[in-house]
Structure 1
Amino acid sequence: MNALAAAMQLLVAVAFVSIPVVRHRFGPAAKAAAVAELRRQNVRPEVLDENGLRFDAGGHETAAPAAVAAIMTAVAALNLAGADLARPLTWIFSSMVILMNLGIVYSNLTAVKSVEAAFRRKDDPELARVEVAPFLKAAENAFPGWVRAQTYVRNTTVFAGSAVALLAVTLG
């Protein structure tokens, strides 16, 4: 059962690593599409950089998923080694991963509202003029179609893999 938990944790790690990989590869195209949409809306594109808005894999977009992947890999190694700490750490971190991924899914589903709110908080009159839905849609459309499917596979892998890991250490 420890090997099953470890395998699931490694799948979760790979799923999290896929986030910055995809953003690194297609983020520049998403930014170019967002800039084009801002121009269409007669909003200065420089407003993105001035307010630290990114579409690439910089900053926390890489650090957070990489940290999750590293932690899940370490816990998987403990499970493979049969360490006593593997079980409680699996419970802690697999549960946290499920909760974090719920937050990611919620954020994706409410992106327009949350970006509108973030733009209002910035108190930048230029950002206030942005029509957020077409702005985000333009950026999203710059990613290849398979990225949407990859997102569903990633979320399924994270939820199911974490649940199976929890079940495996519980029954093991």
Structure 2
Amino acid sequence: MNADLAALMQLLIALAFVSIPIVRHRFGPLATTAAQDELTRQGVRPEVLEENGLRFDASGHETWAPVSVGVVMIALAALNVAGSDWATTSTWIFQSLVIVMNGLILYSNLTAVSAVRAAFRRKGDPELARVDVPAFLKAAENAFPGWVRIQQNIRHAIVFGGSALALVAVSL
């Protein structure tokens, strides 16, 4: 029963992580357009986004990283359901990593303005140095539907809470 609870939490966590590229795939192009429009409003060429590799879609690591976490969580769920000897140790290792990774995701979301400002400075592009970063990020964020913010909070709750429950479940 405890292994089944751990597996259920791991499947929910897998779904939570896979939701990231799905949402970014669907609404990322709208966010990119909104960010480009904001740059134009600020008198900055919108092409600087592409020239500097700044994206709001589900390309690259925005897809492979969360999908990889989802695959690992599904594998852990399978180990737990199968009653594998590896299930407890693997759950402890990977759930702990997921907690840390999700903490880093949350931190990066909370510090996005300062991180983007620093990244723009590092690029050394004078156009990027002129960008009003809060307005730029707000324009991109506003292109996503309002429910996405709620979905992000639910995802964080599932990942943190589900990981804690999975760890408790395999420990009992």
TM-score bin, normalised by smaller chain: over 0.9
Superposition TM-score, scaled by structure 1 size: 0.99
Instruction: Give the corresponding residue for 1:32.
Output: 33
CA distance in 2: counterparts of 1:29 and 1:64, whole angstroms: 22
- Deviation of residue 73 (structure 1)? 0.5
- Deviation of residue 129 (structure 1)? 1.0
Instruction: Give the corresponding residue for 2:93.
Output: 92
Q: Cα deviations across residues 117-167 of structure 1 (Å, max 9, x unaligned)?
A: 011111111111111000000000000000010000000000000000000
Instruction: Give the corresponding residue for 2:136.
Output: 135
SS of match in other structure, 1:133 = helix
Superposition TM-score, scaled by structure 2 size: 0.99
Instruction: Give the corresponding residue for 1:166.
Output: 167
Instruction: Give the corresponding residue for 1:124.
Output: 125
Give the alignment of 1:2-41 within 5 angstroms: 2-41=3-42
CA distance in 2: counterparts of 1:118 and 1:50, whole angstroms: 14
Q: Residue 10 of structure 2 aligns to which amino acid in structure 1?
A: Q
Gaps of at least 5 residues in structure 2 are none
Does 1:47 find its partner at 2:26? no
Q: Cα deviations across residues 86-137 of structure 1 (Å, max 9, x unaligned)?
A: 1000000001101111111111011000000011111111111111000000
Superposed CA RMSD: 0.5
Q: Residue 16 of structure 1 aligns to which amino acid in structure 2?
A: F
SS of match in other structure, 2:29 = helix
- Deviation of residue 38 (structure 1)? 0.1
CA distance in 1: counterparts of 2:77 and 2:158, whole angstroms: 15
SS of match in other structure, 1:92 = helix
* 55-64 or 118-127, larger mean C-alpha shift: 118-127
Give the alignment of 1:73-88 within 5 angstroms: 73-88=74-89
CA distance in 1: counterparts of 2:127 and 2:64, whole angstroms: 29
Q: Identity percentage over the alignment?
A: 68
Give the alignment of 1:95-110 within 5 angstroms: 95-110=96-111
Number of positions where the alignment pairs a residue of Structure 1 with one of Structure 2: 171
CA distance in 1: counterparts of 2:100 and 2:50, whole angstroms: 31
**Segments of 4+ moved more than 6 angstroms:** none
Q: Cα deviations across residues 39-78 of structure 1 (Å, max 9, x unaligned)?
A: 0000000000101111100000001000100001001100
Q: Residue 138 of structure 1 aligns to which amino acid in structure 2?
A: A
Q: Residue 93 of structure 2 aligns to which amino acid in structure 1?
A: I
